[in-house]
Chain A
């Protein structure tokens, strides 16, 4: 019976899904001669509304953030379980918090960098940071912010803010999913955490930083624990892919690591992990009623925005089409 509450939400989302960009549209955008042509293609899509308000090509970033905001607004409106959909908003809150904290430590105003998407209104966050009073935040976030502020006063390291808050973000996401007993989301988040941890480890190796740092940035709530990474830090990356060969994402690791060893670039790994996570969500398409289609639509939209951004940046900098295509993520439809 409980699935009935999703009836309206899922129906509405299904209707919206049809308006997502399909492969042929994206193909046309890639083949476009320049950024103006890309915009022209977008005019034929759901983006037409926000695009007509654009003041110039460079303005595309605002269009994209507006679209994201719009999507979240719809999701919030239709979602029968706002707690679950808020999971996807936390990252924007955390982003705003990071920006505000750093700005306040720098003594600057950087309101242009805030997004209006988060679950907590920006104005409220601003007041909190100004007053250094975080008691209205979610306990997990509050703890993190207070830790970051305290840590920063001792050792003014901007990285600390990011690290502490990133940790909180994923803890918060995972806990919220756990509290609501959504095994789908728990699975999704822990896979994401695993992939991020793997990526972090590779990056730490490249940076030449040690175990201590790994321990600091390590995100819990994944399925691989710290000892696993700690042991592998001094080993070659081949062993990493070997050890993970039983995991469902072993293909991501194998291919990503192979490409990294060849090119010293994590682009492929990032693309593959995005695709993998996206594949997980895509399964939601076949669930009749539940949170999955909502999450699916949300990710699809975010993914779409990512695709458009890559194409726009590529076109504006005259990057060859093949290179753009290489970096593009899968599409939902």
Chain B
């Protein structure tokens, strides 16, 4: 294992020891964060999968209805029927902090621009009944789609965060900490060696001085 390129002095040693302590503490914290993130992430992914399946099933149904309506009515009539929407929607965006991940929160705001509620913007006489089904199922799936978007984005952001944390944890665990330990050991040994050398020299000097007298 490579050690850091430092002067083997006592000052460096204290510095390094401090750094080692911080690294170990950081490692522990990050490891905890990673575990927690992982737990949340798995929950989120499971939720994502469920939602996606529901949304996809509902969308398929809606499109199927729509397709039939499309086949029975001419394109001009169909487009005329749905060209003027009865509702206006806007999206409100805020963020929530999950384990330092800024995940989005989407809120759908529906504005009805007419008095009596109802999502059908067309008259009944010239339109096909299949269109009702398509419109209502699309209307119902809308909320879920927004939720799905939110969950899916959160999952993506979390995955990225997990990856980043893992890289950090690994860097600390397999590079930083061993390196620091190695270096601390090297300096300690070097210092000890110096100490021993000194002692031997001192003993030798004492001996010579003793011989002379």
Contacts and interface: CB of A to CB of B under 8 A. Distances in A.
A61 B71 contact: no
B77 interface: yes
A202 B132 CA distance: 11
Interface residues of B, number: 35
A189 to B, nearest CB: 12
A203 interface: yes
A207 B75 CA distance: 24
Contacts of A157: 86, 114-116
Nearest to A196: B125
A267 interface: yes
A199 B70 CA distance: 18
B142 interface: no
A98 B70 contact: no
Contacts of A313: 67, 70-71
A159 B122 contact: yes
B113 interface: yes
Interface in B55-112: 65, 67-68, 70-72, 74-77, 79-81, 83-86
Contact of A102 (B71, B72, B84, B116): B84
B67 A317 contact: yes
Interface residues of A, number: 54
Interface in A157-195: 157-159, 161-163, 165-167, 169-170
Given A167-B125, A203-B129, A270-B128, 19 more contacts: A65-B74, A99-B76, A99-B80, A102-B84, A110-B79, A110-B83, A113-B80, A158-B121, A162-B81, A162-B121, A166-B125, A207-B132, A207-B136, A264-B133, A267-B68, A270-B129, A270-B130, A313-B70, A317-B67
Interface of A: 61, 64-65, 91, 95, 98-99, 102-103, 105-106, 110, 113-115, 155-159, 161-163, 165-167, 169-170, 196, 199-200, 202-204, 206-207, 209, 217, 219, 264-267, 269-270, 305-306, 309-310, 313-314, 317, 319, 327
